[in-house]
Amino acid sequence: MMTVMAPAVSDIAHTIQLSVAPVFLLAGIGGFINVIAGRLNRVVDRSRLLETLHSGSSGTEHERHVWELRLLDRRIKLASNAIFLCVASALAVCVVVTLLFVAEMAHLKYGTSVSLLFMLAMVLLAAGLVLFLIETRVAVSGIRVREHLLELDRRERRGRFRL
């Protein structure tokens, strides 16, 4: 009969110590996904509002709605892809933590696999961050205050408020 050696408590404690950093990383990724999802929610709400206004508009107002809908569509795609990449990163981190424990319990040598998987998680997270960065730049490029609202032609306010 074959005997299986159970890992020592100190070995399990060491594995738990190794898994703490990836678990904190998971919490950070979760918070980041929450931020992106909140932005995505606002973009979707705005696009739904513009869709209702679109059919009743004409002329320059219609062109502005179409322009903004195209911008919002791009933002939706960027945010959705950023969420996908961050969730994939979180899943890879979960597999890393699981492999740490499996390797310890079964006395397996998964060091290279764990390292490669952690690097993959970081690449996925970095790609998600890049898409988030692009989404924020697209959002900022879409913020335009129409010239007539700025009242740049009014001279009487010129001396009262300086920026």
- Give the mean pLDDT of 44-57: 93
- Give the mean pLDDT of 16-31: 87
Nearest alpha-carbon partner for 35 in 101, 73, 79, 99: 79
Give the burial class of 38: count Cβ atoms within 10 A of its Cβ; 0-12 exposed, 13-18 middle, 19 or more buried.
exposed
Tokens of 107: 């006395």
Angle made by CA atoms 45, 36, 141, in degrees to the nearest 5: 70
Q: Which residue has the tokens 């690097």?
A: 119
Helices (H), strands (E): how many in the chain? 4, 0
pLDDT for res 148: 75
pLDDT-derived band at 1, boundaries 50, 70, 90: low
pLDDT for res 120: 97
Residue range 134-155, pLDDT digits in tens:
999 999 998 877 777 777 766 5
pLDDT for res 57: 87
- Give the mean pLDDT of 63-78: 95
Residue range 24-50, pLDDT digits in tens:
999 999 999 999 999 999 999 999 999
